[in-house]
Structure 1
Amino acid sequence: MLKNKHILIGVTGGIAAYKMPLVVREFKKAGADVKVVMSESAKEFVTPLTLSTLSGNEIVVGTFPDQNTNVLSASTWHIKLSQWADVMLIAPATAHTIAKLATGYADNAVTTLALAIRCQLVIVPTMDVDMWHHPATQENVVKLREMGCVIVPPETGELASGLTGEGRLPDVPIIVNTVKGVLRNAHRDLQGKKIVVTAGPTYEPIDPVRFIGNRSSGKMGFAIANAAAQRGSDVILVTGRVSLPTPRHVKRVDIESAAQMHRAVMKYSKNADAIIMAAAVADFTPAKPSHTKIKKERVHSTSFSLELTRTRDILLDLSEKKYHGILIGFALETENGIRNAQQKLGEKKLDFIVLNNPLQNGAGFGSDTNIVTIISKRGKIEKLKKMSKFDIANELLDRVAKNF
């Protein structure tokens, strides 16, 4: 996805700057051409030599780069780089840097370039929790968003100060995927489309304490919701219990049981242009869940029987109601995958079905990668190589966009 893309990275003087070599390396591994500019204070946390070695390009530090550079002239370096870049990423962006960007202040290499660029600007704020929540910082962030900048919010965790709270640099995959999304979605090919995505497991109650569930992490569905939102669509994400942050610009609807997911999908399917069922919905639910905890003392044998009934099939109900949008299902199979997926595709009148096998290396529950086969109602079978779930999400959405 990033092959031959020009990514310009601005590094400022925050402690999280030491992680930027990892970001540079990931972009390079994906085929991008990376150039880095640094503020003088950034050198206190990461060396220009490290970033130069990993990027394969010389580093610009300060407002007046070395006159002897082979690539840039000291008087017009910012113009040349601004015209070269497909996207500019500023990370870490300190509170000081954010204030400068919001007011158009250009006193170092990073802020000067931010004024000159014509491409999308992605900003990753990192700072201590109280600095992040200060009204001035929040006002500046709002202003930058209004100016069209993409803000990747800081994560919550232990900070350099010893405090715990918002302010940490997001994980490298989050930063990389955001930039990928910006580059891919320059034309926002799903603008104005309403897409319903389901994710995660369902929990079927046995009693107030116990439930029948599954190992779904929700990562695939959340990746689809994130990618669809970045491509301009109006996304409703119906999700079971997962430990994942809500993607930006996505409306999240939390559910627990298969029945709750059924009701939510039916509600939001009205006027939806596409429904993508990535959730692992239970096929069976306890027929008579107990309203009180089942005590082992009440069970007078060494075995315990639980009567189960079938849950309602959401995809089948949608097709029987003659849903007219694009309908996509997922099939998790450990044997006879293609045959079983094709059968499900036909029975439920799907436009596409995404097949995967959790036993494959790199495709298990909770993994950040997946290996899938996309089968269309026209009979086309496409086996994709192992890739990140975000990249798979965009592969799937490419096919959705072509069918609108």
Structure 2
Amino acid sequence: MLAGKTVLLIIGGGIAAYKSLDLIRRLKERGARVRVVMTAAAQHFVTPLAAGALSHEPVFTELFDRAAEQDIGHIRLAREADLVILAPATADRMARMATGFAEDLAGAVLLAARVPVLVAPAMNPAMWAHPATRRSVATLKADGIAFIGPMAGAMAERGEEGLGRMAEPTEIAEAAEALLAAGGALAGKHVLVTSGPTHEPIDPVRYIANRSSGKQGHAIAAAAARAGARVTLVSGPVNLPDPAGVEVRRVETAREMLAAVEAALPADAAVFAAAVADWRVAAEAGQKLKKDGNAIPPLALTENPDILAGIARRVAGRPRLVIGFAAETQNVIAHAQAKLARKGCDWILANDVSQDGGDQSGIPGGVMGADRNAVHLVSAAGVEDWPTASKAEVARRLVDRIAEALDRQETLGRQENP
């Protein structure tokens, strides 16, 4: 989505400015032309020489530059860009944006921009949480400004942690792709994705779970966003960053996941990649179960709701395309075909989770936790064997197929109802 596009990167002041040099590289890797504006504060942290060497473009720093402003340079910079990124965005800069200040080149460009603007905040957690900053953010979002981050983690200040870290350059680049995907293959579509495991409590300390990492589901959500879709990701407990441009709803249990899925409907397509626990304990203990040296406490199990079947068999509000996953350890195709018929969904993506994913990760549980996957697309039309690939590539291929299927449905609908 960035190939052939011009991205105007405004580097704000703050220690996170060093990440913006890597962001230039990440944007150019995706085929973008990158032009750079640096604030006066940014130049205390990184130099125009470094930014220019990486972007292969002149770096702009002054509003009253005689060479540039003879043709109203700040207007030209704004109009020639397909996207403007402000990274890092300080509390001061966001306050200036929210009130329309244009006292320097960065402010003038941001005020003149009529293209999408993506902001990557970076500041101390106390500054991010301050009511003044919250008001600035609310105003900018109401004005249509897109945000990526901030993220939680360690601060530059010794010993401080919290919400305020600038998103990583790859995350910002992905968000930029998603923002420019308004005309993508899934533009105007709503895609619902579930991801990760569920945790079913036994007592306040213990739970029933599985080895799902959520990597495949999160990759699908990210790919759908890059294709222009509005994406809702319902995620169980995972140790993954939120995909750029995606609305994330976090849950713990299967029943919470079902409620979040139903609340997210209607959707054009739903991809159920989560590894939902089949059972939960019938009666969760209110206190930690203790060993008494005699009997092992009985764990009576009851069945969890079948989210895939419940949505696939809906009469009203069923997504036009419902896709499930089958994680198997034997008879993969046969089990997937049986699941397709039993659940009532349109496609099943089946994989052998006893394999190592082809990346020699050595992770217990094979594909569940690895970075590569080999799947079989099972539908009423037959079985397609996809080669082993990265989970990102599997996601991209699946999203392409979803876009084709939805487009085919719409074409048939127009033919039947001219």
What TM-score, normalized to structure 2?
Answer: 0.76
Partner in structure 2 of residue 331 of structure 1: 326
* Correspondence list, 1:96-111, <5 A: 96-111=92-107
Q: Deviations over 1:341-399 (max 9, x none)?
A: 455445534323334566222895456x5546573634474848536489638546534
Q: Deviations over 1:296-321 (max 9, x none)?
A: 454579xx997867655432344455
Unaligned runs of 5+ in 2: 411-418
2:390 aligned residue (379, 383, 386): 386
Distance of 2:6 and 2:374 partners within structure 1: 29
Is 1:221 the counterpart of 2:217? The answer is yes
Alpha-carbon offset, residue 282 of structure 1: 2.5
Paired amino acid for 1:167 = G
**Structure 1's 355 and 185: CA in aligned 2 closer, same or farther, altered over 3 A?**
farther
Q: Deviations over 1:75-106 (max 9, x none)?
A: 34334433332211110012222122223222
Partner in structure 2 of residue 161 of structure 1: 157
Distance of 1:397 and 1:44 partners within structure 2: 48
Give the number of aligned pairs.
Answer: 393
Partner in structure 1 of residue 199 of structure 2: 203
**Structure 1's 396 and 370: CA in aligned 2 closer, same or farther, altered over 3 A?**
farther
SS in 2 for 1:185: helix
Alpha-carbon offset, residue 146 of structure 1: 1.5
* Correspondence list, 1:246-257, <5 A: 250=247, 252=249, 254-256=251-253
SS in 2 for 1:181: helix
* Correspondence list, 1:250-399, <5 A: 250=247, 252=249, 254-256=251-253, 258=254, 261-262=257-258, 265=261, 267-268=262-263, 271-285=266-280, 293-298=288-293, 313-321=306-314, 324-325=318-319, 326-333=321-328, 341=336, 344-355=339-350, 359-360=356-357, 361=359, 364-366=367-369, 370-371=372-373, 373=375, 375=377, 377=379, 378-379=381-382, 381=384, 383=386, 385-386=389-390, 388=392, 392=396, 395=400, 398-399=403-404
Cα pair 2:312 2:344 within 8 Å, conserved: yes
Larger CA deviation: 145-154 vs 202-211: 202-211
Distance of 2:328 and 2:294 partners within structure 1: 36
* Correspondence list, 1:28-177, <5 A: 28-64=28-64, 67=67, 75-162=71-158, 163-177=160-174
Paired amino acid for 2:390 = K
Paired amino acid for 1:55 = S
Larger CA deviation: 54-63 vs 332-341: 332-341
Q: Deviations over 1:146-186 (max 9, x none)?
A: 21110223122332233333221122232122111101135
Cα pair 2:225 2:246 within 8 Å, conserved: yes
Cα pair 2:37 2:60 within 8 Å, conserved: yes
SS in 1 for 2:178: helix
Distance of 2:113 and 2:264 partners within structure 1: 41
Cα pair 2:191 2:268 within 8 Å, conserved: yes
Q: Deviations over 1:236-273 (max 9, x none)?
A: x44323345667773626232x45545665x4486554
Paired amino acid for 2:153 = G
Alpha-carbon offset, residue 328 of structure 1: 0.9
Paired amino acid for 1:9 = L
**Structure 1's 122 and 6: CA in aligned 2 closer, same or farther, altered over 3 A?**
same
Cα pair 1:286 1:306 within 8 Å, conserved: yes
Cα pair 1:195 1:233 within 8 Å, conserved: yes
**Structure 1's 209 and 142: CA in aligned 2 closer, same or farther, altered over 3 A?**
closer
SS in 1 for 2:35: strand
Paired amino acid for 2:93 = T
What TM-score, normalized to structure 1?
Answer: 0.79
Unaligned runs of 5+ in 1: none
Distance of 1:80 and 1:222 partners within structure 2: 38
SS in 2 for 1:35: strand
Cα pair 1:90 1:123 within 8 Å, conserved: yes
Larger CA deviation: 244-253 vs 180-189: 244-253
Alpha-carbon offset, residue 224 of structure 1: 4.6
Seq. identity, %:
36
Paired amino acid for 1:22 = D
Paired amino acid for 2:165 = R
Alpha-carbon offset, residue 35 of structure 1: 2.0
**Structure 1's 18 and 97: CA in aligned 2 closer, same or farther, altered over 3 A?**
same
Is 1:181 the counterpart of 2:183? The answer is no
SS in 2 for 1:7: strand
Is 1:8 the counterpart of 2:11? The answer is no
